[in-house]
A and B are shown apart, each in its own frame.
Chain A
Amino acid sequence: MHHDRPIPVLALTWLELRTLFRGWLVRIWIVAALLLSFVTTLSGWRALPLPVMIASLAFPFLVFPWFVVIVTLGTNAVVATRMESIADGILSRPITRLEFLVAAWLARAITVLAVLALAVVPAALVAGLADRPVESDPVTSYGVIMASLVVILVVLGVLSLGFFVGIILRNAWLALLVVLFIWYPINAVFTTFRLEELSPISLNQALPTLMRKTWQTAEEVTEIRPRDLIVLQQQADQFLQSLTGRPRRPAKEPAFFEHDLEYQDIKPWRVVLSYAVPIVVFLGLSYVCFYFRDL
């Protein structure tokens, strides 16, 4: 006889996923995210180099408007309106509160990452593989992996923040308002105190640079500044011109992320610390709050 014991967390995660994907919020979000990606790709087709194009595709998730949807998904996980059915239907069965919370968070994380992948990956692949009338500006495998990790960490961090605030306040809309009122102003504080790694806006601006990096440059030359690269490129162009006799190409306008001369290259380990640690802390605090709650 077959005796594979089912794992309740997976069963609950599957239930939550089904609930989410049958809800209007996620369905509308998927359609809107695909539409926005299409528009972004189309409008930047002739102008944006691949790294900037990918950063533009990720922008709605890191800053606005999908940021708001991600927070909403987090805040509505364990709220008063769902509490009765959660308590009666699920937590009265042999399952711990930790297992339930993990399933609720995991389902939302999978949903967010799925929509992110749907919105960014196909558009990035098309933009990268197509023969577009823009200057070649290749990305590296290392850069793409690190940029993906950064984006994933940020969206999961935002999701976890919403999850935690939702559990504390028990009201999804109130929690959403609180997160927005705290989060957007605090970006200015991050910039002031040179904590760029905590700011999704700064991270989004840094993505193109990160995607161009190789493992070696990331490891060894962490202080390279964009202006230095521009100067080096100009020198190389001049040298080639003098050798070949071809006319000099017009100077390339610095991209928006290259304007800040004081920009410090983002360091993946700092990003990990800045987001992974808060994710763990938010989830831990969520569990503590939920554990001591009467249902």
Chain B
Amino acid sequence: MVTSMTVDTAAIETSHLTKVYGNEVIAVNDLTFEVPPGVIFGFLGPNGAGKTTTLRLLLGLQRPTAGQAKVFGHPCGPDATAVRRLIGYLPTNPKLPGHLKPFEYLDLVGQLYRIPADVRRPRIAALLRAVGLLAVADQRIATLSTGETTRLGIAASLVGDPPLLLWDEPTAGLDPAARRFALDLIRELGEERTIVIATHILADIDQVCTHVGVMHEGRMIFCGSMAEMKRRLRGDSFFLDLGATEDVRQRLDAMLQNLNGITFQWLDTHRLRVAVSADVSRAATLAEVLRCVDQAGAVLHSVQSGLGATEDAYLQLLQEDELHGFKRFQDAPRPTHPSSSPNLA
């Protein structure tokens, strides 16, 4: 179901979207971002960051306290069936009617999408085959394993052939084979649809996503391409894995403090992070640092550039967001386009 509207318009657009539960819990905090059509968007954040709430606001399952959200230009809301027709939703560990069989359930979903029987039934048969559930098609859903239930949920999200897929933790609770299947499927589907994957599993994001949005405490603290996220956040850092006693570490600390243009931090007793200022030579500074390591008597196990380390980039984003303190309030978010101007809070 790819129309000119779904190609031209932002797949998702939120403006100052806010959700407060009972004047007590701020689940989504002044969230403004866009997801362009045709990307695989990783919605990243720790548990409780507001990812699922945001998805539910998009689906109209919840009502925003303030702000608005649009999907392919259509405003979201409880009765926005036009929006939900454009969305295939996979909840975390989907709860499906246990007394139905997979075909019956998918047939019901197809009817909710108002798909005629002569289109619906062949499509469901093809989907069951595609997600590998033909062998259990005659079993009740209640008897399916977690992986099989998730596959069925994936099939259900595809019954309506929607241009936008919202998958919430699609690999949660899956064994390695099922997880591999889900990620391969995301890559394949991402060739012709917009996919949003909400997760806190960084490896999944790293493998399949072209764009990423990082949420923390209800706010989008970064929204851009994967490459931008890694380059901007970790391009100035090195990680050194060292074998060093307490004495050696103290000597090394003293020597590094005399170097210009760097800051360093022990992440644990063996891992040292060195951040290099933009105004000094990275290569020369690295050489100086390695000389200090040698002179201090530490054993160098490995040197890693920050580039490509999604996990570190993500953790640094969270740390920086914490450190910004009141500045986070002053930096009111502005609508951004992930591919053009990443939004660093």
Give A contacts to B, CB under 8 Å: 1-8, 11-12, 15, 18-19, 22, 84-85, 87-98, 291-292, 294-295
Contacts and interface: CB of A to CB of B under 8 A. Distances in A.
A22 B91 contact: no
Interface string B70-103: 0000000011011011010101001111011000
Nearest to A16: B97
Contacts, number: 91
B53 to A, nearest CB: 9
Interface in B43-89: 56, 59, 61-63, 78-79, 81-82, 84-85, 87, 89
A63 B95 CA distance: 37
Contacts of A295: 56, 61-62
Contacts of B109: 93
Contact of A5 (B61, B79, B95, B114): B114
Contacts of B84: 92-95
B62 A6 contact: no
B232 to A, nearest CB: 35
B160 interface: yes
18 contacts: A2-B118, A3-B118, A7-B111, A11-B111, A12-B108, A15-B97, A19-B97, A85-B96, A85-B97, A87-B56, A89-B95, A89-B96, A93-B112, A94-B85, A95-B112, A96-B81, A97-B79, A291-B79
Contacts of A95: 81, 84, 112
Contacts of A8: 111-112, 114
Nearest to A93: B112
Given A11-B111, A92-B84, A93-B109, A4 B160 contact: no
Contacts of B325: none
A3 B21 CA distance: 44
B176 interface: no
Nearest to A87: B61
Contact of A2 (B78, B112, B116, B156): B116
Nearest to A21: B99
B112 A294 contact: no
Contact of B89 (A4, A19, A92, A292): A92
Contact of A94 (B62, B156, B160): B160
B239 interface: no
A15 B110 CA distance: 13
A3 B116 contact: yes
A226 B112 CA distance: 55
Interface string B12-36: 0000000001000000000000000
A261 to B, nearest CB: 54
Contacts of B264: none
Contacts of B115: 6
B134 interface: no
A11 B114 CA distance: 10
Contacts of A88: 89, 91, 94-95
Contact of A97 (B78, B82, B117): B78
Contacts of A89: 94-97, 156
B104 to A, nearest CB: 9
A85 B95 contact: yes
Contacts of A87: 56, 61
Given A96-B81, A97-B79, A5 B116 contact: yes
Residue of A4, A89, A92, A98 with most chain B CB atoms under a 10 A cut-off: A92
Given A8-B114, A89-B96, 9 more contacts: A5-B114, A6-B120, A8-B111, A15-B100, A22-B99, A88-B89, A92-B84, A95-B84, A294-B61
B78 A15 contact: no
Interface in B267-305: none
B79 A94 contact: no
Nearest to A10: B111
B113 interface: yes
A292 B100 CA distance: 30
Contacts of B114: 5-6, 8, 94
Residue of B59, B81, B112 with most chain A CB atoms under a 10 A cut-off: B112
A11 B118 contact: no
A88 B52 CA distance: 12
A7 B108 CA distance: 11
Contact of B118 (A1, A15, A18, A22): A1
Contact of B59 (A1, A92, A98): A92
B99 A19 contact: yes
Interface in B307-330: none
Contact of B63 (A22, A94, A292): A292
Contacts of B116: 2-6
A91 B160 contact: no
Contacts of B97: 15, 19, 85, 89
B99 A12 contact: no
A217 to B, nearest CB: 49
Closest 7 A/B residue pairs (Cβ): A11-B111, A6-B111, A85-B95, A88-B91, A93-B112, A94-B85, A94-B81
A2 B120 CA distance: 11
